[in-house]
Chains A and B, each alone.
Chain A
Amino acid sequence: MNCREMDELLNAFIDGQASAGERRLVARHVEECRACGQKLRLVVGIKASVRKLQAPPAPAALKAALRREAAKRRKAAWSWPALPRWGLAAAFAAAAAVVVFVLAPSREEEVPVDALLAAHSEYALTMPLSPSESIYAGLAERVARGDAHDL
């Protein structure tokens, strides 16, 4: 193997990426070839110097900027972009119907279905749904006061 062919093997040897056979070839060659022996030492020195190259510390604003982008992405995920309008309305109507039967309030607090559907619409347009959020909070009182008509 000549010195030019040895160049790649020398570099792989220095990087710890040479096979056992390649390592033997390199070891044998540098014993016999002074120039390649010098080149090997030089490449080791250059690799060590490159390894020490420092980048300046990341700007403090970088992580803040990334968090802002991530927050925008999370907010966009709540806007249900994939659902067509009719699908969204139908989904809420179905959910409202289920809730009326499952969480049926007592006779004294019975809430009209129209007011329930209207409340769903209000929340769908203005706030993201949260499993922990009670969308009926205060609705019965508003209906009793008579100011649910503007929902």
Chain B
Amino acid sequence: MAAMLERLIEDYADRAYQFAYHLCGNVDEAQDVVQEAFLKAIRGWEAFDESQDFWNWFLAILRNIHCDRRRRYERRNCVSLDVPIEGGGEEAETFADTLADGDAGCLLERLTREQGQQEVRDAFDSLGEEARAVLTLCDIQGLSYEEIAEVLAVPVGTVRSRLARARGFLRRELAERAAAEEALNK
């Protein structure tokens, strides 16, 4: 058991922290979440089914702890990616569709600039928790849709729609920041 725990800490602590940081956006909270997740994993070790992938199992614990903390300590209105936008009629427009076509080229150009990465960071941090979780798991952790579905305990179809909407939100956020900066520079 001692050797196993040491290996867990050595192999997974850094990756776990990376994931937690992208969820929380905060160094101290990320550290707390990782510690709590490790404790929970150690306590629940006997119940762990070894046919499962350990890393996905642990990510699910980590994410659930983060969500529980958010529910307990914050009353922020997070827009769920699974809920259609109200008041839009039968074919309700989603946030994903609001980007004008002509802005696509400008945005791409901004992303390649030096400050582009900071803009992406700021826009990413402003997203809701569901969006940050699914983007982190897909684009940063590199999980497949099936693995993401396992971590988030949702169907694969839900993962697909959440990713599409999360990227739509991110596109919109980047476009709004770009427009605001251009207005300031005029």
Question: Real complex partners, A and B?
Answer: yes
- Measuring CB to CB, which residues of chain A are less than 8 angstroms from any residue of chain B? 4, 7-8, 10-12, 15, 17, 34-35, 38-39, 41-43, 45-53, 55-59, 61-63, 65-67, 69-70, 73-74, 77
Indicate if the CB atoms of B161 and A12 lie closer than 8 Å.
no
Minimum Cβ distance to chain A for residue B127 (Å): 10
CA distance in complex: A70, B39 (Å): 8
B57 on the interface (CB 8 Å rule)?
A: no
User: Chain B, 82-117, contact with A by CB distance < 8 Å: what is the 0/1 string?
Assistant: 000000000100101101010011011001100011
- Asked if B139 lies at the interface with its beta carbon under 8 angstroms from chain A, I say yes
Q: Digit string of B134-165 for contact with A (CB within 8 Å is 1, else 0)? A: 01001110001100000000000000110110
Contact status B9-A39, CB under 8 Å: no
Cβ contact within 8 Å between A41 and B116: no
B24 (CB) vs chain A CBs: closest residue: A55
In the A-B complex, the 10 residue pairs with the closest CB atoms: A55-B21, A58-B17, A38-B104, A70-B5, A50-B139, A49-B120, A35-B101, A55-B18, A42-B104, A8-B164
A75 to chain B, nearest CB (A): 11
Closest A residue to B91 by CB, please name it: A4
Interface centre among A55, A56, A77, by most chain B C-beta atoms within 10 angstroms, is A55
Q: Is A66 in contact with B145, judged by CB distance below 8 angstroms? A: no
Pick from A48, A51, A53, A65 the residue with the most CB of B within 10 Å: A53
**Within 8 Å CB of B22, what residues of A?**
53, 55
- B168 contacts which chain A residues (CB < 8 A)? 7
> Beyond A46-B111, A46-B174, is A74–B1 a contact (Cβ under 8 Å)?
yes
Of the candidates B18, B31, B97, the one whose C-beta lies within 8 Å of that of A59 is B31
| CB interface residues, B 63-96, toward A, < 8 Å | 91, 94, 96
